[in-house]
Amino acid sequence: MSARPVKLRVRVVPGAKSAGVLGRYGDAWKVRVTASPERGRANDAVAALLARCIGVERPAVRVIAGLASRDKVVELVGLSREEAERRLEAAVQEAV
């Protein structure tokens, strides 16, 4: 377990027909959410999706940059970067 927060770059596709982690997008992770980008709904959906895929409680994930952009920085508490990325990769493989 990691006590220090980990920052992950995320590229978001809001308003998609289905939600999921699509894979790598350069140095970021590409995700899609069904929520619209209005009033922070997509940001909340991104945090919830990542928490579910990574296996942490929802409060452990929060969008800290890019609130009005498709390119976001997400802060994650409770796991190392390596473990978080391993779990995201597993989520991509499950979706295939």
Reported as a single tens digit per residue, the pLDDT across 4-51 is 899 999 999 999 999 999 999 999 999 999 999 999 999 999 999 999
Cross-sheet strand order for the sheet of 6-13: 20-25, 28-32, 6-13, 71-76, 61-65
Unique residue bearing structure tokens 């980008």 = 37
Residue 3 has pLDDT above 90, yes or no: no
pLDDT over 70, % of the chain: 95
The pTM (predicted TM-score) of the whole model is 0.92
In a domain, 25, yes or no: yes
In a domain, 62, yes or no: yes
Better-scored residue on pLDDT, 16 or 96: 16
| Number of structural domains the chain divides into | 1
Unique residue bearing structure tokens 């920052």 = 7
Residue 1 has pLDDT above 60, yes or no: no
In a domain, 71, yes or no: yes
Give residue 83's domain range. Answer: 6-95
